[in-house]
Chain A
Amino acid sequence: MASSGDSRYLEVKAGVKREEPIVVDIDASAGEAKDTGVLVREGAEATVVVAVHGAGAEDTTSASLVRIIAERGAKVSLVEIVAAGSDARHLEGVGIDAAENAVVECRQYALGGAKVAVGFATNLAGTSARLNLDMRYLVDEGATLDVNHVCRQRGRVTRSQITTSGILKEHAKKTMRETIDLIHGAKGAVGNEIETVLIAGDHVVNKTLPVILCDEDDVQGNHGASIGSVSPEQLAYLADRGISGEEATALFARAIFDDAVIHAPEASSRAAALSRAEEFLGAEMARDVAEGLGLTESEESAR
Chain B
Amino acid sequence: MSETTERKRSEVADVDRSLYDFVMSEEGYERYADGLTPDIVRAISEKKDEPAWMLEMRLKALDVFHEMRMADNWGPDTSGLDMDHISTYVSPKTKQARDWDDVPEDIKTTFERLGIPEAERESLAGVGAQYDSEIVYHNMREEVAEQGVIYTTIEDALHDPQWEPVVHQYFGKLIPMRDHKFAALHYAVWSGGSFVYVPEGVTLSYPLQSYFRLNASGAGQFEHTLIIVEPGADLHFIEGCSAPKYYEANLHAGAVELYVKDHARLRYSTIENWSKNMYNLNTKRATVGADSRMEWVSGSFGSHVSYLYPTTILQGARSTCEFTGITFAGATQDLDTGCKVILNGADTTASVDTKSISKDGGVNTFRSSVVIGAKAERARATVSCSSLMLDDISRSDTIPAMDVRCGSASVGHEATIGRISDDTILYLMSRGCSEAEARTMVVNGFANPVSKELPLEYAVISRRRRFRTSTCRPRRPGTTCASTRFPSRSRRPSPKARSSRACRASSTRSRPASAPKPPHGSWPRRVTPATSRSRPA
Contacts and interface: CB of A to CB of B under 8 A. Distances in A.
A212 B415 contact: yes
B395 to A, nearest CB: 5
A229 B408 contact: yes
Nearest to B408: A229
Interface in A200-228: 200-228
Given A221-B416, A223-B413, A224-B414, A216 B405 contact: no
Nearest to A225: B413
A187 B407 contact: no
Interface of B: 3-4, 6-7, 9, 374, 387, 389-392, 394-419
Contacts of B410: 226-229, 231
Contact of B401 (A209, A217, A229): A209
Contact of B407 (A201, A210, A220, A221): A201
Given A127-B4, A209-B399, A225-B411, A199 B417 contact: no
B262 to A, nearest CB: 27
Given A188-B3, A203-B374, A225-B412, A212 B417 contact: yes
Contacts of A156: 3-4
B446 to A, nearest CB: 14
A116 interface: no
Interface in A95-137: 127
6 contacts: A156-B3, A207-B403, A210-B413, A214-B396, A223-B398, A223-B416
Contacts of A214: 387, 389, 395-397, 417
Contacts, number: 128
Contacts of A157: 3-4
Contacts of B401: 207-209
A187 B4 contact: yes
Contacts of A210: 400, 413, 415
Residue from B402, B406, B408 with most neighbouring chain A CB atoms (10 Å): B402
A200 B407 CA distance: 7
A184 interface: yes
Instruction: Tell me if A's interface is mostly helix, strand, loop or mixed.
Output: strand
Contacts of B396: 214
Nearest to B410: A228
A132 B410 CA distance: 27
A228 B404 CA distance: 9
A223 B415 CA distance: 5
Nearest to A157: B3
B413 A224 contact: yes
Contacts of B400: 209-210, 223
Given A203-B374, A217-B389, A229-B407, A188 B394 contact: no
Interface in A209-262: 209-229, 231
B4 A199 contact: no
Closest 7 CB pairs of A and B: A228-B410, A217-B389, A221-B417, A225-B413, A220-B418, A227-B411, A223-B415
Given A224-B413, A226-B410, 5 more contacts: A127-B4, A206-B404, A219-B418, A227-B409, A228-B410
B391 A217 contact: yes
A239 B416 CA distance: 38
Contacts of B7: 218
Contact of A215 (B395, B406, B407, B418): B395
Contact of A221 (B404, B413, B418): B418
Interface residues of A, number: 40
A289 B289 CA distance: 50
Interface string A185-196: 001100000000
Residue from B9, B404, B418 with most neighbouring chain A CB atoms (10 Å): B404
A70 B380 CA distance: 43
B438 to A, nearest CB: 17
B415 A218 contact: no
Contacts of A222: 414-417
Nearest to B407: A202
B416 A220 contact: yes
Nearest to A185: B392
A217 B405 contact: no
Contact of A211 (B397, B402, B405, B414): B397
A156 B403 CA distance: 34
Contact of B392 (A205, A218, A220): A218
A207 B411 CA distance: 11
A201 B407 CA distance: 6
Given A210-B415, A229-B410, A218 B397 contact: no
A210 B395 CA distance: 17
Contacts of A211: 397-399
A263 B241 CA distance: 58
Contacts of A215: 395
B392 A217 contact: yes
A156 B415 CA distance: 22
A163 to B, nearest CB: 15
Nearest to A194: B414
Contacts of B417: 182, 212, 214, 219-222
B361 to A, nearest CB: 11
A208 B415 CA distance: 13
Contacts of A223: 398, 400, 413-416
Contacts of A217: 9, 389-392, 394, 419
B141 to A, nearest CB: 46
B407 A199 contact: yes
A228 B416 contact: no
Contacts of B412: 224-227
B470 to A, nearest CB: 16
A32 B140 CA distance: 74
Given A184-B392, A211-B397, A214-B397, A225 B407 contact: no
B385 to A, nearest CB: 9
A201 to B, nearest CB: 6
Nearest to B414: A224
A204 B419 contact: no
Contacts of B3: 156-157, 188
B47 to A, nearest CB: 46
Residue from A156, A219, A228 with most neighbouring chain B CB atoms (10 Å): A228
Nearest to A170: B407
B76 to A, nearest CB: 14
A199 B404 contact: yes
B407 A216 contact: no
Given A209-B399, A228-B409, A218 B6 contact: yes
A203 B395 CA distance: 38
A207 B402 contact: yes
Interface in A174-189: 182, 184, 187-188
B403 A188 contact: no
Contacts of A201: 407
A156 B411 CA distance: 34
Contacts of A197: 404
